A and B are shown apart, each in its own frame.
Chain A
């Protein structure tokens, strides 16, 4: 169910009405029922998978607590939880990828061995809710959190419908206190929810879905396009991806707030970053934070004796997994590796760069850092968007040979509808320039209610006038 669909609107209205009339201490049950229904909507069969995840994680956490003085048993139950969650993730997401590699390797040695690559339909949201469950297991293991005893509460923690399909990946320390505290109706929450949801809706159907058409046409024909056009396509993709995913997050946060829940933020204007390290502090924050706490830090400290090479090792392992998390494809592995390279470079040159920043005029140094970071981000996004690795390299080869061909861009614009394309660019420009104003005003409620109200009304009018009404899936649904 897309947030920007009539189905969701009906679903939400019904759920909200039920939630309103249910007594406080039972409101969680309405949300849980709604969440399970929501998850079962597309493919009811995968509801079984979700419920099993909930039960296994719930049980293993209770056992870990029971054996908190016996490290070996405690670890056993940690592994039970981890293995199950990683296991279903691997089976459903990566088995096809691995059998594919296996069949290729087998093909190298012998033509008689025939391993058939598996084709399994990815259960929607699996990457998100398994990570959330793993985070919880580790929190209990590290003693940061007491296990949740009430199964219903725990089930809601894993399956809460605003976030189950595409995050933000929630932390036990953030969500459980909110689940335990009975949430009640509040006008402030409604107002905030409407603001965030509308802002997300605007980004999704006025910006992202409009760009989708152009990006698809450019990336669908890498052979036939000049480097300059491919740069344009990649630039548009970067904004499409940001608008699309931050839109989803805004809508998720908005919907959750109706029920009094505060979900984690996911974006903090990533494209203003002046280093790749900073970029990962601003981009998909719930994932990068998760990776930092549950993967990078444990790896880093496990190799503590290697000094700074422990950090390099941890960076690479983390980012290869981060790449693979996005999808079982080599393009994502490469995406992870080049991010790892950039982060390692930045780590090793940290002191040197600090010196440079003091020798050069700040304006010059900052702009230079920003441009280099942004171009690097675009290049890495090529691997994010391209269908295959050879295509990504072909694109980059062209991008660095015929980037000056302005005529090709002109031709593309004419082909893409001329003035109609330019109008879409005008909307994009409006989004880029007003992103901070809208995001921060809604996030911090930093304007008078009357002004916020006027901003939402303007967004609604822009959505009605310029929305792309049709079904375009959220990009992060596939992860």
Chain B
């Protein structure tokens, strides 16, 4: 039939033209980088800390703790400080990692043979609909291709499918850039603190504007899935709300906590709220409203270790 022929021809033409287009976007280079990255704001260069940390993560060794979450995770939990106490840990947090994407990270990387405790840094930003930034970072940089395709597929987004196709074509390309503040073991840190003028800015804009963060139901359901998956895989799950500065918009904090507490309490998950850790100074221990600098991390991590030891989540090592 004539129409069937037309449909088949179209499908063939679309497939062919798409492949050619992708190939061109990979081959044509701008400043030594593939042209695809100039076609959309959400496409990032391959490389950086995400690329390095997933390559570095040793899936066949048993870790005391693996950290997961957003930039507040990979900038807030230092495997080196935990190492000082002889704990073997690694940080798998990535930029703006949504809860849904955390689920896929756990699905493809974490089980009882390589992780005793999974420490998930929770915060409202990871529970919103907005997840393209995190997905595109992971699809390009996560070490297992299958994990990348899984994330791309579950985003139900044309752009993530494009990135997955691009990844398929460029699997053997090396990374295009490195990040200065990446310290290894999945951890990044900065030493500066918030400049005075920026503090004032936060007061005038961010703190007073009270941007409403809309919690997405799908993210909540993935939070549930994380809890179930950790349970079935025999990995202990600990959720932590890490410290925020005085400049952080705190107005929605209680709302958010009560929302996730439901899931936490029903499933007997351990939860620590360190959002207002007293020994921290907003002026010296943060480099912006919601990210600790190195000095802040060291205070917070020491407190956290004490807490985890008290609750018997990690054993007190004899050497210390």
Contacts and interface: CB of A to CB of B under 8 A. Distances in A.
Interface of A: 187, 191, 417, 419-420, 423, 449-450, 453-454, 456-458, 460-461, 464-467, 469
A465 B9 contact: no
Nearest to B14: A457
Given A420-B41, A454-B13, A457-B10, 14 more contacts: A187-B3, A420-B39, A423-B39, A450-B9, A453-B9, A453-B13, A456-B10, A457-B17, A458-B13, A458-B17, A461-B17, A465-B18, A465-B162, A469-B158
Interface of B: 2-3, 6, 9-10, 13-14, 17-18, 21-22, 25, 30, 38-41, 157-159, 161-162
- Taking chain B's interface residues, is the majority helix, strand, or loop, or is none over half, making it mixed? helix
Contacts, number: 47
28 contacts: A187-B2, A187-B3, A191-B6, A419-B30, A420-B38, A420-B40, A420-B41, A423-B39, A453-B6, A453-B10, A453-B13, A456-B10, A457-B13, A457-B17, A458-B17, A461-B18, A461-B21, A464-B18, A464-B158, A465-B18, A465-B21, A465-B22, A465-B25, A466-B39, A467-B158, A469-B157, A469-B158, A469-B159
Contacts of A460: 14
- Taking chain A's interface residues, is the majority helix, strand, or loop, or is none over half, making it mixed? helix
A417 B44 CA distance: 13
B67 to A, nearest CB: 31
A187 B7 CA distance: 12
A420 B18 CA distance: 21
B157 A419 contact: no
A469 B3 CA distance: 30
A320 B41 CA distance: 41
B218 to A, nearest CB: 15
A138 B2 CA distance: 46
A417 B40 CA distance: 10
B39 A465 contact: yes
A27 to B, nearest CB: 21
A21 B75 CA distance: 60
Given A417-B41, A420-B41, A454-B13, A449 B6 contact: yes
Contacts of A423: 38-39
A449 B6 CA distance: 9
Contacts of A465: 18, 21-22, 25, 39, 162
Most buried by B among A461, A466, A467: A461
Nearest to B43: A420
Contact of A464 (B13, B30, B38, B162): B162
A461 B161 CA distance: 13
Contacts of B161: 464
A458 B10 CA distance: 9
Contacts of B6: 191, 449, 453
Contacts of B17: 457-458, 461
